[in-house]
Structure 1
Amino acid sequence: MTTTAPTSVAAYAAPSAKAPLERTTVPRRPVGEHDVLIDIKYAGICHSDIHQARDGWGEGIFPMVPGHEIAGVVAEVGPGVTKYAVGDHVGVGCFVDSCRECAYCRQGLEQFCTQGMTGTYNALDKNGEPTYGGYSTHLVVDENYAVRIPDGLALDIAAPLLCAGITLYSPLRHWNAGPGKKVAVVGLGGLGHMGVKIAHALGAEVTVLSQSLRKKDDGLRLGADHYYATSDPATFETLAGTFDLIVSTVSAPLNMDAYMGLLKVDGAFVNVGAPEEPNALNMFSLINGRKTLAGSMIGGIAETQEMLDFCAAHGLGSEIEVIRAEQINEAYERVLASDVRYRFVIDTATI
């Protein structure tokens, strides 16, 4: 088969751990039988990109092209592709392959593949070649690991949904956020603001727990019913025993015993943020009230598609600031300083 897919594409990569990202080129495989070539239009900047580019979660694979919030247009399809056609709007999230055979893959929980999912970047594919992410102009991916971006969702506001959206949608659905449930979202950042939007759309009573009241107006505008500052000790007295579900999006250690005190009997505290440092917890905080401390990691392909359809039906998208590729390093520093409302998105036409 003749393919028009470029053998190398322009990208922004970290040449080594903690080094500034710079423009370069990376290889892309030819379009195979079941592959689609995506002309990437937008790529979101996730805090996990910074963790990995700076070896915060362990030793990375360099040069590293981050980016797992990818939105674009199908430019070419392999002869066996049945799901997509040239011109379709599609997205790619945090992984581009899995074993496809284990119990979790068969259940649509590819993110928990027993053989290990293949990350969109900072991973090795089945041929032992490094994967390169969405800070680039094109991507070749198996059609089964792309999702359709519905009409009505602009590609720029859809891109962050491929990580931030599904990261919050999955636990909110799994722990049954909805009418009659009181849900708290810890942190109003790139993840948290989508948690507020989605929880509100699901019908829950939503509270934001943020370090300060600086973003209170935003939180209420996005769908929160209440907004409290965690820097105020009175917050933990006022809200004791209040919530059915707390979802923490922060990437710093918390006083877990204080937060567990905010749960009702049988309440759940779910971590989706991943601090680089360990956290401490007194087990009596769990025992007293039959409470659950849990974690959640993105979602499978089917649930990611469900999330996109849900967001399109409810008019939800990320609050974004579109940047040029040469602003990526500045954007990283601004993310670390919490100086973004609420997601940077790279216009890949500027790479």
Structure 2
Amino acid sequence: MTTNTRAYAATSATSPLTPYRFNRRNPRNDDVVIDILYCGVCHSDLHTARNDWGWSSYPIVPGHEIVGRVTSVGADVTRFKVGDHVGVGCMVDSCGHCPACAHGDEQHCAEGSTFTYGGIDRVDGSMTQGGYSDQIIVKQEFVVRVPDGLDLKGAAPLLCAGITTWSPLKNWHVVAGSKVAVVGLGGLGHMAIKLAKAMGADVTLFTRSAGKEDDARRLGADHIVLSTDDAQMAEVAGRFDLIVDTVPYAHDTNPYIPTLNYGGTLVLVGYLGPLEPALNSMPMVLGRKAVAGSLIGGIAATQEMLDFCGEHGITADIEVIRMEEINDAYERMLKSDVKYRFVIDMASLKEAA
């Protein structure tokens, strides 16, 4: 029996999100049914709602930073029980057998991972709908456990912003004493600073805006470099093992390459598209430096990240909003008017119904 679900949805690229009802698919034997408590608001939600990437189908319910409580489980579910606090991130399925999936990198599934919203269910062909809703049904392999004691509201953004920044820190082997820089102080950047600091790294924030020093230090940054100041940039030449670039729009990456150590890497996690101006390969070739990209992380890595956050008491800095405030939140997000992630209290959706 399908489940009637309350939500907020975009019905076109130009219309605001509005209340919406739809039927979730039937729970299967390997499914977990989750009552959604909180859902973070990601730039990807806005891009999808407004069809900025050209693939959106409407109506669509955004939301992929989901924390909730298990209300029922299928007959074959062994990982979770009713009452557990769990999370769902950007994916709800993958092929499970390609080399990427076998390696635990379901986000790079050769057949294409099934995204939490706007994806196509691999069993019945229906379109997936996300976490701006009162409940969600997800197969157990794509559900993660939220550690006891971790604030549920602040944990929601870990399901995207957290894993997006954790993944490059782990894949490029950040350890105690590593020199890590973060470009940009927003939803992703503030998580990159917190996580890198907890790993024992020496952390620097690159920013174009003066006046962020106090906040950056509060989050864990050891140093702040104004990237528009040539003298400050020259002082950190050859310093960094890893730079995590969280800027979500086209920008000039060339000034950061000289600040990499021999063999260092700049990893793009915030921007999809061509770099403008073009990347100058000379300092990369001469210094064996690299520019790479990283996409979220696999399910095992996401659980590892959550467990690490539980051990270190790490959550996102958030502003809690009601569901009906989502359109205003989108406009504020475009102006970077949030420190540092909006989280929707889904009780407000249930109260309004």
The alpha carbon displacement at 1:78 in A equals 0.7
1:92-111 mapped onto 2 (5 Å cutoff) = 92-111=88-107
Q: Counterparts of 1:180 and 1:12 in 2: how far apart (Å)?
A: 45
Q: Does 1:119 align with 2:144?
A: no
1:2-151 mapped onto 2 (5 Å cutoff) = 7-126=3-122, 127-151=124-148
The alpha carbon displacement at 1:214 in A equals 2.6
Q: Is the 8 A contact 1:186 1:246 kept in 2?
A: yes
Report the counterpart of residue 294 of structure 1 in structure 2.
Answer: 292
- Could you tell me which amino acid in structure 1 is paired with residue 202 of structure 2? E
Q: Does 1:323 align with 2:321?
A: yes
Select the residue among 217, 222, 229 that pairs with 2:219: 222
Report the counterpart of residue 243 of structure 2 in structure 1.
Answer: 246
Q: Is the 8 A contact 2:225 2:233 kept in 1?
A: no
- 1:261 is paired with a residue whose SS is helix
Alignment size in residue pairs = 347
Q: Counterparts of 1:100 and 1:41 in 2: how far apart (Å)?
A: 29
1:220-245 deviation per Cα after TM superposition (whole angstroms, max 9, x unaligned):
01110001222323332222211111
Select the residue among 290, 309, 312 that pairs with 2:310: 312
Structure 1 unmatched runs, 5+: none
Select the residue among 283, 286, 299 that pairs with 1:285: 283
- Could you tell me which amino acid in structure 1 is paired with residue 28 of structure 2? G
- 2:193 is paired with a residue whose SS is helix
Report the counterpart of residue 195 of structure 1 in structure 2.
Answer: 192
- Could you tell me which amino acid in structure 2 is paired with residue 52 of structure 1? T
1:121-146 deviation per Cα after TM superposition (whole angstroms, max 9, x unaligned):
01111122111000000000101110
The alpha carbon displacement at 1:340 in A equals 0.3
Q: Is the 8 A contact 1:211 1:230 kept in 2?
A: yes
Q: Counterparts of 1:276 and 1:229 in 2: how far apart (Å)?
A: 25
1:9-55 deviation per Cα after TM superposition (whole angstroms, max 9, x unaligned):
11011101132111111220122101010000000001111111111
- 2:187 is paired with a residue whose SS is coil
- Could you tell me which amino acid in structure 2 is paired with residue 326 of structure 1? E
- 1:331 is paired with a residue whose SS is helix
- 1:159 is paired with a residue whose SS is helix
The alpha carbon displacement at 1:213 in A equals 2.4
Q: Does 1:165 align with 2:162?
A: yes
- Could you tell me which amino acid in structure 2 is paired with residue 169 of structure 1? W
Q: Counterparts of 2:227 and 2:289 in 1: how far apart (Å)?
A: 21
The alpha carbon displacement at 1:206 in A equals 0.1
Q: Counterparts of 2:14 and 2:88 in 1: how far apart (Å)?
A: 25
Superposition misfits of 4+ residues, deviation over 3 angstroms: 275-279
- 2:72 is paired with a residue whose SS is strand
Select the residue among 207, 212, 217 that pairs with 2:209: 212
- 1:219 is paired with a residue whose SS is helix
Report the counterpart of residue 257 of structure 1 in structure 2.
Answer: 254
Pick which of 13-22 and 298-307 moved more: 13-22
Q: Does 1:272 align with 2:257?
A: no
- Could you tell me which amino acid in structure 2 is paired with residue 346 of structure 1? I
Pick which of 301-310 and 17-26 moved more: 17-26
Q: Counterparts of 1:37 and 1:255 in 2: how far apart (Å)?
A: 44
Q: Is the 8 A contact 2:187 2:341 kept in 1?
A: yes
Q: Is the 8 A contact 1:183 1:246 kept in 2?
A: yes
Q: Counterparts of 2:229 and 2:329 in 1: how far apart (Å)?
A: 30
- 2:310 is paired with a residue whose SS is helix
Provide the aligned C-alpha RMSD in A. 1.2
